[in-house]
Amino acid sequence: MKTIRISEAKNFVGETVQLKGWVYNHRSSGKVRFIELRDGSTETIQCVVFNGTCDEASFNLSAEITQESAMIITGLVKAHPKKEGVYELDVHKLELIQKAEANYPISHKEHGPEFLMQNRHLWLRTPRQVAIARTRASIIKSIRDFFDSRDFVLMDAPILTPSACEGTSTLFETEYFEEKAYLSQSGQLYGEVGAMAFGRTYVFGPTFRAEKSKTRKHLTEFWMVEPEIAYWSLEENMTLGEEFVVQIMKDVLSRNKKELTILQRDIPTLEKIAEGGFPRVHYNDCVEMLNKNGHTFKWGDDFGAPEETKIGNLFGDKPVWIHHFPKDIKSFYFKKDAEDPRYALGCDLIAPHGWGEIIGGGIREENYETLKNAIVEHKLNLEDYQWYLDLRAYGSVPHGGFGLGLERAVSWVCGLEHIRETIAFPRMLNYLRP
Ligand code: 4AD
Ligand code: MG
């Protein structure tokens, strides 16, 4: 007997097959019983248990099953009489592998987010979570394909680090034998090593920030992909970032329509984003736009969630690049604009409708003395950055890159209300378990 995945049912119409899965839902109507089986495919399948087409033992068994019971079901694959693209199984035989206890916590009624988060290990079984997980995996593939096909060498940055990359206020500290270490906030500084070694590189791994506020956009543990390129300009950086986001959108649209449909994502909006043409706006122009549109915003401040949402929305559905930030709101490593050193050569990509900053990046200071002074000014321990300064002593070139937050991207692509659904086990201020 051939075992198939539910997603393959369309190729087996008229054939008798075996499905191995779990009972997602069940009901009976007169002499017919219906089992909605899930097996991790994006779709579930309705299995029709009718006393006449299935054996008697199986029919009796179908009266006893509980939600999440593990079952192997044998039957004939049929196309749904009315719904196109939907398939059913006419059951011949049911085999119960384990009868789930009757008190499965996640029933088919509405549950609040806190309850679902406590049961995250079970919540992941529901079709919506399967659709998100599959889209996330697809985006990861897209990320790797994009850089691998452009001759970027993948390099893994360390997680345990002796120093900060993105300011000291969000560092997670841990003991490292006789000294202190910090969980990496970003692989960038090591990515710069890679850029000087390989010309172009990307770092992709988990990063950590002790974010003390609960928001819909902040995790304490998130995955970031960070390309870093030697001989590079701010304009090239924005062009690469745009091509990158466009490729992710195209791949998801070609591979994940089923998932996007389950998530009720507005597909034409994603198609528009996949056309590219993201606006590029100077920080000063953003400040002016905000003040013209009912926000009182002071030059020199950083954009918070309300400003990001406002700016994002002023440009419709496409994300927008903001570039040339005041240097004082940016990290120590940013190169300053040669024409006006009040500005750092940074660029952030902001998604509309509140999904916020998807990409943060820019050009790095390449001059030894200037960078050394910036480290001292930011009150960082010079000794910890000596290896980083070496990159400026030996063959220093203009270089830069960016970091894309994977969960931010998943949240935006899937159209989610909250970032907690984008990763299997989200870590936030109030979430450490399961
Ligand atoms: O803007 P950030 O802090 O930039 C960096 O870390 C640079 N070193 C990257 C680089 O140039 N190589 O973070 C980059 C991105 C943000 O745009 C956002 O998408 C994501 O990382 N991010 C978070 N995602 C989830 N939760 C958080 N707490 C995040 N903080 C940043
Ligand atoms: Mg940023």
Nearest ligand for residue 213 CA? 1
In 173-243, the DSSP E strands lie at 173-176, 179-183, 200-208, 221-230
- Does one domain contain both 64 and 130? no
At residue 213, the pLDDT reads: 86
For residue 160, being part of any structural domain is answered with yes
Atom 29 in ligand 1: residue holding the nearest Cα: 218
* % the chain with pLDDT above 70: 100
Tell me how far the alpha carbon of residue 39 lies from the centroid of ligand 2, in angstroms: 39
CA angle 419-429-310, nearest 5°?
45
Ligand approaching nearest to the C-alpha of 361: 1
Is residue 196 in some structural domain? Answer: yes
- pLDDT surpassing 90 at residue 299: yes
**Selection from 327, 415, 309 nearest residue 373 by Cα:** 327
Range of the domain at 173: 121-422
Q: How many angstroms does the Cα of residue 184 sit away from the middle of ligand 1?
A: 12
Same domain, 41 and 165: no
Task: Compute the distance from residue 47 Cα to the ligand 2 centre, in Å.
Answer: 49
Residue to probe by mutation, ligand 1, list 237, 303, 357, most atoms within 8 Å of CB: 357
Provide the number of structural domains found in the chain.
2
- Of 63, 98, 133, which residue is a domain's last? 98
Cα–Cα distance between 92 and 74 in angstroms, integer?
Answer: 6
End position of a domain, from candidates 50, 67, 98: 98
Which among 65, 98, 131 is the end of a domain?
98
For the cut 90, the answer to whether the pLDDT of residue 168 exceeds it is no
Enumerate residues 6+ apart whose C-beta is below 8 A from 295: 306, 307, 310
Which protein residue's CA is at the shortest distance from atom 6 of ligand 1? 186
Question: Does residue 50 share a domain with residue 138?
Answer: no
- The verdict on residue 316 lying in a domain is yes
Residue 323 lies in a domain: yes
Residue 176 CA, ligand 1 centroid: distance in Å: 25
Per DSSP, the residues of 145-184 read HHHHTTTPEE-PPPSEESS-SS-STTPPEEEETTEEEEE-
User: Which residues are within 8 A (CB) of 49 and not within 5 positions of it... i.e. 6 or more apart?
Assistant: 32, 33, 34, 35, 58, 59, 62, 91, 94
Residue 30 binned pLDDT confidence (cut-offs 50, 70, 90): confident
- Tell me the CATH number at 385: 3.30.930.10
Contact between 257 and 274 under an 8 Å Cβ cutoff? The reply is no
Ligand nearest to the CA of 217: 1
Report the Cα 51 to chain-centroid distance in Å: 46
- Regarding whether 295 and 163 lie in a shared domain, the answer is yes
pLDDT tens per residue, range 61-103: 999 999 999 999 999 999 999 999 999 999 999 999 999 999 9
Mean pLDDT to the nearest integer, 201-228: 96
Q: Are residues 283 and 380 in the same domain?
A: yes
* C-alpha torsion angle, residues 359, 201, 229, 394 (rounded to 10): 130
Query: Does residue 246 sit in the same domain as residue 282?
Result: yes
Are 32 and 151 within one domain? no
Same domain, 181 and 284: yes
- Output the CA 371–ligand 2 centroid distance in Å: 20
My answer on whether 318 and 249 are in the same domain is yes
Q: How many CB atoms lie within 10 A of CB 137?
A: 13
Q: What is the mean pLDDT of the chain?
A: 96
Q: Cβ distance 287 to 310 under 8 Å?
A: no
| CB contact set of 52 (below 8 Å; sequence gap of 6+) | none
Q: Per-residue pLDDT averaged across 132-145, rounded?
A: 98
Span 323-336, average pLDDT: 97
Q: Are residues 222 and 300 in the same domain?
A: yes
In a domain, 427, yes or no: no
Question: Mutate which of 169, 222, 224, 407 to test ligand 1's pocket (most atoms within 8 Å of Cβ)?
Answer: 224
Query: 126 and 93, same structural domain?
Result: no
Q: Which stretches of 231-308 are assigned E, i.e. beta strand?
A: 280-282
Atom 4 of ligand 1 has which residue's CA nearest to it?
360
Q: Ligand 1: which atom is nearest the Cα of residue 203?
A: 12
pLDDT-based confidence at residue 165 (cuts at 50, 70, 90): confident
Distance CA 368, CA 386 (A): 11
Structure tokens at 262: 């389950």
Q: Which ligand is nearest to the CA of 223?
A: 1
Pocket around ligand 1 at a 6 A CB cut-off: 165-166, 186, 188, 209, 211, 218-219, 222, 224, 226, 357-361, 401-403, 405, 407-408
Q: How many A from CA of 322 to the centre of ligand 1? A: 15
The CA 150 to ligand 2 mean position distance, Å, reads 25
Residue nearest atom 15 of ligand 1, based on CA coordinates: 405
Is 213 within a domain? Answer: yes
pLDDT at 386: 97
Query: What's the mean pLDDT in 126-154?
Result: 98
Residues 153 and 93 placed together within one structural domain of the fold: no
Closest-CA residue, ligand 1 atom 23, reads: 405
Ligand nearest to the CA of 403: 1
Q: Which atom of ligand 1 is nearest to the CA of 419?
A: 25
Token couple for 234: 């701010």
Residue 224, both tokens:
């970031």
- State the distance from the centre of ligand 2 to the C-alpha of 410, rounded, in angstroms: 17
| CATH assignment of the domain containing 81 | 2.40.50.140
What confidence score (pLDDT) does residue 174 get? 96
225 neighbors 204 (Cβ within 8 angstroms):
yes
**Confidence check: pLDDT of 149 > 90:** yes
Predicted pLDDT at 164: 86
Residue nearest to atom 22 of ligand 1 (CA): 405
User: Which residue matches tokens 């806190």?
Assistant: 114
Tell me, in angstroms, the distance from the centre of ligand 2 to residue 359's CA.
Answer: 7
| Residue 137, domain member (yes or no) | yes
| 112 within domain boundaries | no
